[in-house]
Amino acid sequence: MVSFILLAAGKGSRVEQKMPKQYVSIAGKPLLLHVLDKLTKIQEIDQLIICCELEYSGLIDTMIANHYPGLAYELIEGGATRQQSVWHGLQVCKNETVVIHEAARPFVRTKDFLRLIQDEMPNVIYGADIPFTVLKGKEFVEDVLKRDELVNVQLPQKFVTSRLKEAYKKALANKQEFTEDAGLFYTYCEAEKIKVLKGLQYNIKVTYPIDFLVGEVIYREYIVGREE
Amino acid sequence: MTTVIITGASRGIGRATAVKLSHCSQVDNMVLIATNYDGLLETQRQMSSGVHSELIVFDLSQLWNIDQMVQSIYDKYGSIDWLLNIAGYADPQLLLDTTIDNLSQTFTVNFFSMAILTKAVVKFMKLNEQSQIVNVASTAGSTPRPGWSAYAASKAAVINFSETLSEELAEYHIAVYCVSPGRTATDLRKRLAPEEDPTTIMQPEDVAYTIYTLLTDETQCLAGQDLIVRNKKM
Ligand SMILES: NC(=O)c1ccc[n+]([C@@H]2O[C@H](COP(=O)([O-])OP(=O)(O)OC[C@H]3O[C@@H](n4cnc5c(N)ncnc54)[C@H](OP(=O)(O)O)[C@@H]3O)[C@@H](O)[C@H]2O)c1
């Protein structure tokens, strides 16, 4: 069985909306609900942990009561950073397998979760090709990176819970912050392999205002797959 | 197991649809809703005995009790697969003759009750692999007819509601159909046009046949559109 950490604590500061982006709608539906829609039929998930700002807990309770009455879930207070939010979630995980996803990636499909969960490897992530050239440097170019050796890291990701917790403790001790968990896990759990499944370009992270526009198209064409 | 709810099944188009669907091999349970028990009983009598049917005497204008009724249907059958919103009310009045009660009753039966019933049912339909909803609107919902403003507006609401839900629920594989019949030989029509010869207009069985065809059409290409059903012979 799987514990599922759903990150919904982001403040969405880069998106020019008043509400944090996970509560903002694409196709009339908040991003958080897009993700919940894909989760609730997955038998393997028997613990759902939602990390959120507690001031929005009432909103989430109402959303779940209206759309998924009877769904069991735990609301955990998010941390100041993404890493701290995951750390809070890990404290209550009861299973040895944890899947981590974020509300800002609404176009994940049920089958993407199932493929990750059912993969025989214990630590698995999704990664997409990088379609553009990436150079190192800020004000001046310092190096050329080979994009065919790089991967655009996506969520969802799956880890062995205890191993990820050990890695987190080391990262915390070193006061090192990561923007996602595969990097952290790789750095502090070197002995463990992390398998990369081919991710799709549709699984965007809604970050900028334009992503809400792009998201409408992705929803219509890819998630629903309907003609105009 | 396919469980179907039909409102307005005590006569007219609702009855003809219940009778037609009782011969559909895909249907296992039919829950028939209206306020007139004798009418429901007669519908049941005309239906194929090969299908399990349940009669529920329920006034759909009791909006606050709809949730509980749907919950009890779900508890009993374990799923709700098809919802047919056919119940309707018409008491057409000129604008200056109409009353708050008339406007309110028209919108309550034709629109609010079907919206609340649909909301209550969709909660369970989301758990299915495939579900279907048919809303019966009217040509009045898209064609102006003096004296029919309240009814026409309520049916326009049904049309727009159906089109919107078709988009909103596609992701959950819930197909939403909107059927708009023209003049049909039922009690409702008889009351409003007593001089009309009912044999010259469309029969409720014709509309029932269309609904049956939609529900058994696997392509679902006609979902989400206002489908006008008219008697070709007219
Ligand atoms: N006939 C036409 O020319 C025509 C044309 C276009 C659209 N339509 C639409 O087609 C649908 C069926 O109409 P019809 O011609 O078959 O009319 P009908 O013979 O008068 O039947 C109406 C049905 O709705 C039910 N109903 C009405 N108010 C209800 C309430 N408060 N609670 C529960 N059930 C209620 C009635 O049941 P009880 O009386 O037992 O409560 C009856 O079964 C309606 O939506 C109507 O607007 C009809």
A168 within some domain: yes
Could you tell me which residue, B190 or B233, shows the higher pLDDT?
A: B190
The answer to whether residue A15 scores a pLDDT higher than 80 is: no
What angle do the packed helices B113-125 and B149-169 form, to 10 degrees?
Answer: 10
Cα distances (angstroms) measured from residue B82 to each of A212, B129, B131: 33, 12, 6
B52 close to B30: Cβ distance less than 8 angstroms: yes
The residue among B138, B129, B92 whose CA lies nearest residue B111 is B138
Q: What CATH number does residue A162 fall under?
A: 3.90.550.10
- A225 pLDDT tier (thresholds 50, 70, 90): confident
| Neighbouring-strand partners of residue A125 | A157, A196
Using CB atoms within 10 Å of the CB of residue B172, give its burial: 0 to 12 exposed, 13 to 18 middle, 19+ buried. Answer: middle
Residue A228, pLDDT score:
47
The Cα–Cα gap between A170 and A210 comes to 37
- B202 C-alpha vs ligand 1 centroid, how far in Å? 15
Residue A226, pLDDT score:
60
The answer to whether residue B234 scores a pLDDT higher than 90 is: no
Beta strands in chain B (DSSP E): 3-7, 29-34, 52-57, 82-85, 131-136, 174-181, 226-229
Q: Which residue has the tokens 């005995």?
A: B49
Q: What are the domain boundaries of chain B?
A: 3-229
Contact yes or no for A226 and B123 at CB 8 A: no
Nearest CB among A28, A41, A223 relative to B168 is that of A28
- A25 C-alpha vs ligand 1 centroid, how far in Å? 37
A147 within some domain: no
- A216 pLDDT tier (thresholds 50, 70, 90): very high
The residue among B178, B100, B108, B172 whose CA lies nearest residue B136 is B178
Distance (Å) from the alpha carbon of B182 to chain A's nearest alpha carbon: 27
Ligand 1 pocket test: which of B6, B7, B11, B207 has the largest number of ligand atoms within 8 Å of its C-beta? B11
Enumerate the H helices of A52-93 as residue ranges. Answer: 57-67, 82-92
A143 within some domain: no
A145 within some domain: no
List the single residue in B with minimal CA-CA distance to A37.
B172
A69 within some domain: yes
The residue among A211, A191, A117, A115 whose CA lies nearest residue A159 is A117
- B89 C-alpha vs ligand 1 centroid, how far in Å? 6
The answer to whether residue B136 scores a pLDDT higher than 70 is: yes
Check whether domain B3-229 has CATH 3.30.10.20, yes or no: no
- B123 C-alpha vs ligand 1 centroid, how far in Å? 25
> Which chain B residues have any C-beta within 8 angstroms of a chain A C-beta?
123, 126-127, 167-168, 170-172
Q: Best mutation site among A224, A227, A228 for testing chain B: the one with the most B CBs within 10 Å?
A: A224
The answer to whether residue A227 scores a pLDDT higher than 90 is: no
- A59 pLDDT tier (thresholds 50, 70, 90): very high
pLDDT tens column, B167-203: 999 999 999 999 999 999 999 999 999 999 999 999 9
Tokens of A23: 């509560």
Q: Best mutation site among B130, B171, B221, B225 for testing chain A: the one with the most A CBs within 10 Å?
A: B171
Tokens of B1: 């197991």
Nearest CB among B127, B170, B172 relative to A226 is that of B170
Cα dihedral A145, A150, A154, A158, rounded to 10, equals -140
A70 within some domain: yes
* Average of per-residue pLDDT across B4-30: 98
Query: Which ipTM score applies to this complex?
Result: 0.83
A16 within some domain: yes
By residue range, what is the domain housing residue A171? 2-125+152-223
Q: What angle do CA A125, A52, A204 make, to 5 degrees?
A: 40
What residue ranges line ligand 1, CB within 6 angstroms? B 7-14, 34-36, 39, 59-61, 86-90, 109, 136, 138, 181, 183-184, 186-189, 204
Domain count, chain A: 1
The Cα–Cα gap between A185 and A33 comes to 28
3-state secondary structure of B230: coil
CA atoms within 13 A on the CB side of B220: 17
* Average of per-residue pLDDT across A112-133: 96
Which range is least confidently modeled, A11-25, A127-141, B107-121? A11-25
Enumerate the H helices of B87-195 as residue ranges. Answer: 100-107, 113-125, 149-169, 187-192
Cβ neighbour number for residue B173 with a 10 Å cutoff: 14
Number of A/B CB contacts below 8 angstroms equals: 15
The Cα–Cα gap between A48 and A34 comes to 15
Looking from the CA of residue B36, the nearest atom of ligand 1 is 40
Contact yes or no for B170 and A37 at CB 8 A: no
Q: Which residue has the tokens 């990436």?
A: A134
* Average of per-residue pLDDT across A127-146: 93
- B231 pLDDT tier (thresholds 50, 70, 90): confident
Residue A190, pLDDT score:
86
- B12 C-alpha vs ligand 1 centroid, how far in Å? 7
The Cα–Cα gap between A64 and A45 comes to 16
The Cα–Cα gap between B167 and B159 comes to 13
The Cα–Cα gap between B205 and B14 comes to 10
Residue A25, pLDDT score:
94
* Average of per-residue pLDDT across B89-97: 96
B63 close to B34: Cβ distance less than 8 angstroms: no
List the single residue in B with minimal CA-CA distance to A65.
B123
What one-character DSSP code corresponds to residue B110?
I
Distance (Å) from the alpha carbon of A206 to chain B's nearest alpha carbon: 20
- Residue % of chain A over a pLDDT of 70: 96
* Average of per-residue pLDDT across A11-35: 82
The Cα–Cα gap between B82 and B220 comes to 14
